[in-house]
Chains A and B, each alone.
Chain A
Amino acid sequence: MARSDSIYQEDTIPTPLRHIWLNFISYPVAMLGLWVFIGFLIITLIAPFIAPYPPGLQHPDALLFPPSWHEDGQVSYFLGTDDLGRDILSNLLHGVRTTFGSSLIVTIFAAFIGIFLGILSGMSRGLKSSILNHILDATLAIPSLLLAIVLVAISGQTMINVMIAVGIALVPQFVRATHTAVHHELSREYVVAAKLDGANKFQIFYNVILPNVLNALIVQFTLAISIAIIDIATLGFLRIGAPASTSEWGTMLADGVDLIFIAPWNVTFPGMAIFASVLAVNFIGYGLQRAVKEGLG
């Protein structure tokens, strides 16, 4: 570029985001989380092609088969079957779609809305900002699961409604995180400098503040994914989430609870799936947080 005559020619300074990335990949735990996450993402896309059976297909002659490594198990039902003869492995693979995939979609939508509102409230001052804040405080005080339950109660129990409810419950957290980050940056001196240069509000936001709050938003995003997975699964577990026929991890676990004494694998595997996905996301979030802190500090 224009710096070709500089003596630091060969030394390219990484951008802040690239800096974070370079820091991030140096943590094995965070990378493990990322790989598991990518694995789940791939399964989300190709679940119908790799699952041995379609979701909810019942095998009347294969009820409550234990996992295949058990002496009564069969390889064709790798993780065993439930009381209706549904293959647990196929249900889990399809569940990646309903639980993990939909929580991703939900988080993306919630992030767009929440960050937009957060920017609006963060950039404004005085009465407008304080009114928005009171509304936020009130919504944040309602436990997110309770909010989701109420919304599902209002709109009826379908997967789309569950996703919308969990998304709406996530929005305040995004607004809060964005608001705090933006508000914090607004009082910095370089923002004042940009203002003195005659930058308008949009320029200040886009060119000055956004690059500095982006990392906080990314961390919040990973946090929100883990909350969304847990919320969707919890709603499913309480049987107010995904409708009974869907292969959703929480719903599967709830079905398994009745059989816990004779077929514990009905509880163990869905739980492990939820646990693994949430843990992977939290590992990524932890790695990012650390990368942000050490990269800039």
Chain B
Amino acid sequence: MWFYIARRVNLFVFTVAVLFLLVFVMLNALPGELATNLSGIQNPTMAQYDAIVNQYQLDKSWFNQYISFIKQRIHGDFGVSFSDAKPIYDEMLRLLPATIELCIYAMTIALLLGLPLGIIAAVYYKKFGDFFLLGTSLIGYSIPVFWLGVIAIMYFGLDLQWLPVAGKLNLLYQVEQVTGFTLIDIYLSDIQYKQLAYQDAIAHLIMPTLTLAVIPAAVVIRITRTTMLEELNANYIKAAQARGQHPLSVIFHHALPNAIQPVLSQITLQLSTLLTSAMVTEVIFSWPGIGQWLIQATYQQNYTIISAGVLVCAGFVIVVTVISDILLIATTPRRRSAEYGSV
């Protein structure tokens, strides 16, 4: 097993190196001077320019430049923002948790909804329940996120005025940012009206989370249905049924444990789609996360932020994929076969 983990880690290092290369090529291709694009310092003075050249080894070959670029980024130096000269690393640490928070809640809802519904669809294969759920999941999968968000704002935010339409928390609640996750921060803070702050934070969370959860939920339904169907047609299920096991016990004790593994491994593939929709959702609901920050940066042609955003988003996807891969390998001996180990 350690062999496969080493292989995964090796793959991880190479993938990240390629990612850095792509971003480095991108920074070269962007209009403007390379020194400015790398460091974010607009109109550097002579001394600053020399420092940048020294830092990124711009007077050496492109390979040296690439290596020192990786070094700087790994040490947390992402340069400064074009527009306000703030260090990007600090800004990212502030914004990233908000995005991850949104993604985690959306994914949890998607799993809580999608897994049972997918199982139901598989159990009622080719009956009304199956068609209904499959149709719903196809429709959910086809709705553009931004349209759904805008309609939700129009109906629940403006018409019914049930839910707040923008932001993370009402400004009345002065919650100090410790972890960046709103709910945890409220727990850690010592404000007077914790209960009300919780209510407010959850009210702000409902619409963005549900909007973001629709597509993953639809995907989870479809994947669960497919893998459950495969398992339910297997011989060991027939054997269990023949032994007179209760139908529910057959589904939950025999089929589900086998069906859930491929579901989980397929879901990690959806992560990059999830991040994309998270970016759009953040823009619509003015959620102070990394997606909104990135889109703002594109309006301002803020190249340091864009490149940092690409690195962080893609890096996040790669890290999560590798971790879930290793976890799957550790828990499922079946996946240790040569076919899974080599890519």
Contact A143 B18 (CB under 8 A): no
Render A133-147 as a binary contact track against B, CB cut-off 8 A, 1 for contact. 111011111111111
The interface of chain A, by Cβ under 8 A from chain B, is 29, 130, 133-135, 137-147, 149-150, 152-154, 226, 230, 233-234, 237-240, 250, 253, 257, 260-261, 264, 267-268, 271, 274-275, 278-279, 282-283, 286
Q: Which of A138, A140, A234 contacts B144 (CB 8 A)?
A: A234
Please classify the interface of chain A as helix (H, G, I), strand (E, B), loop, or mixed, using the class held by over half of its residues.
Answer: helix
**Stretch from B190-198, B204-212, B312-320 that touches the partner:** B312-320
**Stretch from B52-60, B133-141, B246-254 that touches the partner:** B133-141
Q: Quick one: closest B residue to A240, CB to CB?
A: B298
Q: Quick one: closest B residue to A176, CB to CB?
A: B269
Of residues 102 through 150 on chain B, the ones whose CB sits less than 8 Å from some CB of chain A are: 134-135, 138-139, 141-147, 150
**What residues of A have a CB within 8 angstroms of the CB of B146 in the complex?**
233-234, 237, 250, 253
**What residues of B have a CB within 8 angstroms of the CB of A260 in the complex?**
150, 153-154, 158
Given A138-B22, A260-B153, A275-B147, does the pair A29, B272 have CB atoms closer than 8 Å? no
Render B266-286 as a binary contact track against A, CB cut-off 8 A, 1 for contact. 000000110110011001000
Contact A141 B298 (CB under 8 A): no
Q: Which of A29, A142, A153, A230 contacts B135 (CB 8 A)?
A: A29
Given A134-B15, A142-B310, A253-B150, does the pair A238, B295 have CB atoms closer than 8 Å? yes
CB pairs A–B below 8 angstroms (11 shown): A134-B15, A138-B19, A141-B318, A143-B276, A154-B30, A237-B144, A237-B280, A257-B150, A271-B150, A279-B142, A286-B138
Q: Which of B144, B150, B310 contacts A146 (CB 8 A)?
A: B310
Contact B279 A143 (CB under 8 A): yes
What are the 3 closest A-B residue pairs judged by CB atoms, nearest first? A271-B147, A138-B18, A279-B142
Contact B135 A145 (CB under 8 A): no
Q: What is the CB-to-nearest-CB distance from B20 to chain A, in angstroms, rounded to a whole number?
A: 9
**What residues of B have a CB within 8 angstroms of the CB of A135 in the complex?**
18
Q: What is the CB-to-nearest-CB distance from A182 to chain B, in angstroms, rounded to a whole number?
A: 14
A257 to B148, CA, bound (A): 12
Q: What is the CB-to-nearest-CB distance from B42 to chain A, in angstroms, rounded to a whole number?
A: 17
Given A134-B14, A260-B158, A267-B150, does the pair A144, B144 have CB atoms closer than 8 Å? no
Among A134, A260, A286, the most chain B Cβ lie within 10 Å of the Cβ of A134
In the complex, whether B93 has a CB less than 8 A from a CB of chain A is: no
Render B66-98 as a binary contact track against A, CB cut-off 8 A, 1 for contact. 000000000000000000000000000000000
Contact B19 A275 (CB under 8 A): no
Q: Quick one: closest B residue to A277, CB to CB?
A: B142
Q: What is the CB-to-nearest-CB distance from A138 to chain B, in angstroms, rounded to a whole number?
A: 4
Render B225-264 as a binary contact track against A, CB cut-off 8 A, 1 for contact. 0000000000000000000000000000000000000000
**What residues of A have a CB within 8 angstroms of the CB of B151 in the complex?**
267-268, 271
Contact B138 A141 (CB under 8 A): no
Number of residue pairs spanning A and B whose beta carbons lie under 8 angstroms apart: 135
Q: Which of A133, A142, A240 contacts B19 (CB 8 A)?
A: A142
Q: Quick one: closest B residue to A226, CB to CB?
A: B142
**What residues of B have a CB within 8 angstroms of the CB of A137 in the complex?**
11, 15, 18, 318, 343
In the complex, whether B26 has a CB less than 8 A from a CB of chain A is: yes
**What residues of B have a CB within 8 angstroms of the CB of A282 in the complex?**
138, 141-142
Q: Quick one: closest B residue to A278, CB to CB?
A: B142
A233 to B306, CA, bound (A): 21
Contact B158 A146 (CB under 8 A): no
Contact B283 A142 (CB under 8 A): no
Known: A29-B135, A143-B272. 14 other contacts (CB 8 A): A137-B343, A141-B15, A141-B314, A143-B273, A146-B275, A149-B306, A152-B298, A153-B298, A226-B142, A230-B144, A233-B144, A234-B276, A240-B295, A279-B138
In the complex, whether B321 has a CB less than 8 A from a CB of chain A is: yes
A279 to B272, CA, bound (A): 21
**What residues of A have a CB within 8 angstroms of the CB of B280 in the complex?**
145, 234, 237-238
Of residues 6 through 31 on chain B, the ones whose CB sits less than 8 Å from some CB of chain A are: 11, 14-16, 18-19, 22, 26, 29-31
Q: What is the CB-to-nearest-CB distance from B109 to chain A, in angstroms, rounded to a whole number?
A: 20
A150 to B294, CA, bound (A): 10
In the complex, whether B301 has a CB less than 8 A from a CB of chain A is: yes
Q: Quick one: closest B residue to A231, CB to CB?
A: B276
Contact A153 B314 (CB under 8 A): no
Contact A130 B19 (CB under 8 A): no
**What residues of B have a CB within 8 angstroms of the CB of A133 in the complex?**
343
A250 to B313, CA, bound (A): 24
Q: Quick one: closest A residue to B215, CB to CB?
A: A230
Contact A146 B141 (CB under 8 A): no
A63 to B210, CA, bound (A): 35
A141 to B295, CA, bound (A): 19
A286 to B138, CA, bound (A): 8
A257 to B14, CA, bound (A): 43
Q: Quick one: closest A residue to B303, CB to CB?
A: A153
Contact B15 A143 (CB under 8 A): no
Render B288-317 as a binary contact track against A, CB cut-off 8 A, 1 for contact. 000000110011010100100110011101
Q: Quick one: closest A residue to B144, CB to CB?
A: A274
Among A137, A233, A240, A279, the most chain B Cβ lie within 10 Å of the Cβ of A137
**What residues of B have a CB within 8 angstroms of the CB of A238 in the complex?**
280, 283, 295, 298
Q: Quick one: closest A residue to B20, CB to CB?
A: A138
**What residues of B have a CB within 8 angstroms of the CB of A145 in the complex?**
276, 279-280
**What residues of B have a CB within 8 angstroms of the CB of A142 in the complex?**
19, 22, 272, 310, 313-314, 317
Among B18, B151, B318, the most chain A Cβ lie within 10 Å of the Cβ of B18
**What residues of A have a CB within 8 angstroms of the CB of B154 in the complex?**
260, 264, 267
